[in-house]
């Protein structure tokens, strides 16, 4: 039976292969929704509302039927959307390689991380997949889903940068499709969810200030570091302007499984 995608102002009439999947009103209005694959014209459309600016392809990302393959820092999409202090960002993705220990092989799902300008004194947010090589006594690399963000400690002058903070979740296979959700709630916490695995990790933002880096838009499949060069497949990406609760991430996961199932992609 066809499923229909409707609600909260989303321009789902443009979403190819999706018929009748309803976005629950409890999620609020999205900032972005990108369903990737098929054609470039369809992939770059921001389906969150009618008339939004499309993403811009950089280099030559590779199209498949229901996903795109990106190479960090050479072939990706620029969403042209600025970072916000609070919000929820999600991606359905998988790494191309099982061992991405080195930056040269490390993929980035989405974000605006980089080494300049002012990485350590601005918010910066990113989701990526990492491995730490093959631990002693194991036969496979130790894999992580990773959320990274910078925040500032208060000071009377220039903000004092904190160390980069990571929330990481051990995952059994970074080459399998998974739904990653990153939530930043300024002054409270940054939290990572692996909705495929049913796991979560977080770190505190209490006493810290999150200052969005509005000079760098969010990228899909890359960051601004110039050093991470790995590949990943991404089926869909989106964002909301509010930090989600656990219950909202459960609702989001159910919605996305129905929506992406209508495009022939599952298992996440």
- For the chain, domains (ranges, CATH) are 4-261 (2.60.120.200)
Averaged pLDDT for residues 128-136: 79
The more confident residue out of 147 and 4 is: 147
190 Cβ contact list (under 8 Å, min separation 6): 147, 149, 165, 167, 182, 183, 184, 202, 203, 205
pLDDT at 162: 52
235 against 120, higher pLDDT: 235
Interval 200-254: pLDDT, tens = 999 998 888 787 878 889 999 999 888 889 999 999 999 999 999 999 999 999 9
For range 142-171, the mean pLDDT: 71
Question: Which pairs with CB-CB distance under 8 Å and at least 24 residues apart come from 144-147?
Answer: 144/168, 144/169, 144/170, 144/171, 144/174, 145/169, 145/171, 145/174, 145/178, 145/180, 145/192, 145/194, 146/192, 147/180, 147/182, 147/190, 147/191, 147/192, 147/201
182 closest CA partner among 94, 260, 96, 111: 111
pLDDT at residue 242, rounded to an integer: 98
Query: Distances from the Cα of 149 to the Cαs of 21, 191, 253, in angstroms?
Result: 32, 10, 23
Whole-prediction pTM: 0.88
Rounded mean pLDDT, 66-95: 96
Residue 215 is predicted with a pLDDT of 81
- Dig out the tokens for 250 from the structure: 């459960």
Provide φ and ψ at 42, rounded to 5°: -75, -35
Average pLDDT taken over every residue of the chain: 85
């Amino acid at each position: 039976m066809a499923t229909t995608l409707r609600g909260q102002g989303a321009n789902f009439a443009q979403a190819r292969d999706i018929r009748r999947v309803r976005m629950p009103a409890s999620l609020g209005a999205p900032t972005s929704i990108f369903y990737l694959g098929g054609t470039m014209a369809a992939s770059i459309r921001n389906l969150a509302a009618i008339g939004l600016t499309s993403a811009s392809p950089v280099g030559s990302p590779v199209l498949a039927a229901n996903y795109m393959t990106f190479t960090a820092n050479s072939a990706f999409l620029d969403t042209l959307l600025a970072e916000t202090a609070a919000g929820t960002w999600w991606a359905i993705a998988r790494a191309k390689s099982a061992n991405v220990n080195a930056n040269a092989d490390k993929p980035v799902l989405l974000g605006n991380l980089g080494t300049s300008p002012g990485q350590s004194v601005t918010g910066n947010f990113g989701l990526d997949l990492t491995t730490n090589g093959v631990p002693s006594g194991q036969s496979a690399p130790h894999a992580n889903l990773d959320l990274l963000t910078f925040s500032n400690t208060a000071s009377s002058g220039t903000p004092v940068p904190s160390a980069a903070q990571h929330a990481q979740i051990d995952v059994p296979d970074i080459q399998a499709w998974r739904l990653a959700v990153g939530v930043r709630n300024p002054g409270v916490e940054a939290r990572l969810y692996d909705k495929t695995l049913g796991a979560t990790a977080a770190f505190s933002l209490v006493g810290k200030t999150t200052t969005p880096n509005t000079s760098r838009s969010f990228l899909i499949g890359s960051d601004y570091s110039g050093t991470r060069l790995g590949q990943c497949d991404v089926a869909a990406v989106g964002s909301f302007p509010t930090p989600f609760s656990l219950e909202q991430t459960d609702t989001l996961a159910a919605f996305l499984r129905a929506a992406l199932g209508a495009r022939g992609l599952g298992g996440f």
